[in-house]
Structure 1
Amino acid sequence: MSWSTWGAQGLQVLVILILAPLFAAWLQMLRAILQNRRPAGLGQAYRDLWRLFHKESILPEEASWLFRFSPYILFGTKVMASAIVPVLSIALPLARDADVIALVGLLAVARVFQVLAAMDTGTPFADLGAHREMLVSALAEPALLSAFFILSLLAGSTSLPSIVLHAQEGVFTLHPSMVFAAAAFFLVLLIENARIPVDNPATHLELTMIHEAMLLEYSGRHLALLEWGAQVKLLLYVSIGIALFFPWGIADHASASALLLAALALGLKLLLAAPVLALVETLLAKKRLFRVPEFAATAFLFGVIGLLTQFILGA
Structure 2
Amino acid sequence: MNTAAWWLVLLQALLFLLGAPLLVAWVRRVKARLQNRRGASLWQPYRDFYKLFAKETLVAHTASPVFRAAPYIVFGSTLLACMVVPLLALGLPSAAVADVIVLVGFLALGRFFLTLAGMDIGTAFGGMGASREMLVSALAEPAMLMAVFTLAMTAHSTNLASIAEHQLSTGLILRPSYLFALMGLVLVAIAETGRIPVDNPTTHLELTMIHEAMLLEYSGRHLALMEWAAQLKLMLYGVLIVNVFLPWGIATEFTPLALAVGLLAVVGKLIFLGLLLGVAETGLAKMRLFRAPQFLNLALLLALLGLLSHVILEGGA
Q: TM-score, normalised by structure 2?
A: 0.97
Equivalent residue, structure 2, for 1:122:
122
Distance 1:188 1:48 in 2: 28
SS in structure 2 opposite 1:94? Answer: helix
Q: Give how far 1:266 is off.
A: 1.2
- 1:177 aligned partner, one-letter code: S
- The reply to whether residue 206 of structure 1 matches residue 203 of structure 2 is no
Q: Could you say which residue in structure 2 is the equivalent of 1:27?
A: 27
Distance in 1 between residues matched to 2:26 and 2:268, nearest whole Å: 13
Tell me, yes or no, if the aligned pair for 1:92 and 1:254 is still in contact at 8 Å.
no
Aligned to 1:284: 284
How far residue 267 of structure 1 moved from its aligned partner, in angstroms, is 1.2
CA displacement at 1:171 relative to structure 2: 2.5
**Alpha-carbon distance in structure 2 between the residues aligned to 1:104 and 1:249:** 25
Work out whether 1:96 is the aligned partner of 2:102. Answer: no
Return the alpha-carbon distance in structure 2 between the equivalents of residues 116 and 83 of structure 1: 24
User: Are the equivalent residues in 2 in contact too, given 1:91–1:254 (CA < 8 A)?
Assistant: no
Indicate the RMSD between aligned Cα atoms, in angstroms.
Answer: 1.1
Between the aligned partners of 2:135 and 2:259, the Cα distance in structure 1 is: 40
CA distance in 2: counterparts of 1:104 and 1:208, whole angstroms: 26
Contact 2:243 2:266 in 1 (8 A): no
Q: Is the 8 A contact 1:155 1:163 kept in 2?
A: yes
Equivalences for residues 230-269 of structure 1 within 5 A: 230-269=230-269
Normalising by structure 1, we get a TM-score of 0.98
Distance 2:254 2:59 in 1: 44
Q: Distance in 1 between matches of 2:217 and 2:279?
A: 32
Secondary structure of the corresponding residue to residue 87 of structure 1 = coil
Alignment of 1:1-12 (within 5 A): 2-12=2-12
Q: CA deviation at 1:261?
A: 1.6
Partners in 1 of 2:82 and 2:92 — Cα distance? 12
Give the structure 2 partner of residue 174 of structure 1: 174
The answer for the alignment partner of 2:108 in structure 1 is 108
Any unmatched runs of 5+ in structure 1? none
In the TM superposition, residue 8 of structure 1 has moved relative to its aligned partner by 0.8
Within 2, Cα distance between the matches of 1:261 and 1:96? 23
Alpha-carbon distance in structure 2 between the residues aligned to 1:295 and 1:275: 22
Runs of 4+ in 1 over 4 A off after TM superposition: none
Q: C-alpha displacement at 1:258, in angstroms?
A: 1.7
The count of aligned residue pairs is: 315
Contact 1:89–1:251 (CA under 8 A) maintained in structure 2: yes
> Shift in Å at residue 170 of structure 1?
2.0
CA–CA separation in structure 1 for the residues paired with 2:107 and 2:254: 26
**How far, CA to CA, are the matches of 1:51 and 1:145 in structure 2?**
38
Structure 2: runs of 5+ lacking an equivalent: none
Alpha-carbon contact 2:167-2:247 (below 8 Å) kept? yes
Q: What are the Cα deviations for residues 280-308 of structure 1, in whole angstroms up to 9, with x where unaligned?
A: 11111100111111111111111111111
Separation (CA, whole Å) in 2 of partners of 1:186 and 1:141: 13
Question: Identity, % of aligned pairs?
Answer: 52
1:222 and 1:82 mapped to 2: Cα distance? Answer: 20
Matches of 2:172 and 2:270 in 1, distance apart?
22
Q: Is the 8 A contact 1:250 1:262 kept in 2?
A: yes
The structural deviation recorded for 1:262 is: 0.8
